[in-house]
Amino acid sequence: MTDSPFLRACRREPVPHTPVWFMRQAGRSLPEYRRLREGIPMLESCMRPDLVTEITLQPVRRHGVDAAIYFSDIVVPLKAIGVDLDIRPGVGPVVARPIRSRADLAQLRPLEPDDVKYVTEAVGSVVSELGDTPLIGFAGAPFTLASYLVEGGPSRNHEHTKALMYGDPELWAELLDRLAGITAAFLAVQIEAGASAVQLFDSWVGALAPADYRASVMPASAKVFAATAHYGVPRIHFGVGTGELLGLLGEAGAEVVGADWRVPLDEAARRASADGTERAVQGNLDPAVLFAPPEAVAAQADRVLEAAAGLPGHIFNLGHGVLPDTDPDALTRLVAHVHERTAR
Ligand code: 1CP
Determine the residue type at 226.
A
Ligand 1 closest atom vs CA 37: 48
Which CB contacts under 8 angstroms, 24+ apart, belong to 80-86? 80/111, 80/115, 80/116, 81/108, 81/109, 81/110, 81/111, 81/115, 81/182, 82/107, 82/109, 83/107, 83/108, 83/149, 85/148, 86/41, 86/43
Does residue 157 have a cis bond before it (omega within 30 degrees)?
Answer: no
Per-residue pLDDT at 126? 98
Q: At what angle are helices 169-192 and 218-228 packed, to 10 degrees?
A: 20
Note whether 24 and 322 are within 8 A (CB): yes
Per-residue pLDDT at 96? 98
33 lines ligand 1 (CB under 6 A): no
Per-residue pLDDT at 76? 98
Taking the centre of ligand 1 as the mean of its atom positions, its distance from the CA of residue 310, in whole angstroms, is 33
CA distances to 70, 139, 195, 313 from 256, rounded to whole Å, are: 18, 15, 16, 9
Per-residue pLDDT at 1? 83
Annotation marks residue 73 as catalytic: yes
Domains and CATH numbers, the chain: 5-342 (3.20.20.210)
Global model pTM greater than 0.90 = yes
194 lines ligand 1 (CB under 6 A): no
Per-residue pLDDT at 155? 97
Q: What is the mean pLDDT of each run of 10 residues along the chain (344 residues)?
A: 95 98 95 96 98 98 98 98 97 98 98 98 98 98 98 98 98 98 98 98 98 98 98 98 98 98 98 97 98 98 97 97 97 98 96
Per-residue pLDDT at 59? 98
Alpha-carbon distance of 252 to 237, in angstroms, equals: 9
* Residue ranges of the binding site for substrate: 24-28, 73, 148, 203, 320
Q: Beta 92-95 vs 85-88: how paired, if at all?
A: antiparallel
Q: Whose CA is nearest to atom 16 of ligand 1?
A: 74
93 lines ligand 1 (CB under 6 A): yes
Annotation marks residue 3 as catalytic: no
70 lines ligand 1 (CB under 6 A): no
pLDDT tens figures, 60-111: 999 999 999 999 999 999 999 999 999 999 999 999 999 999 999 999 999 9
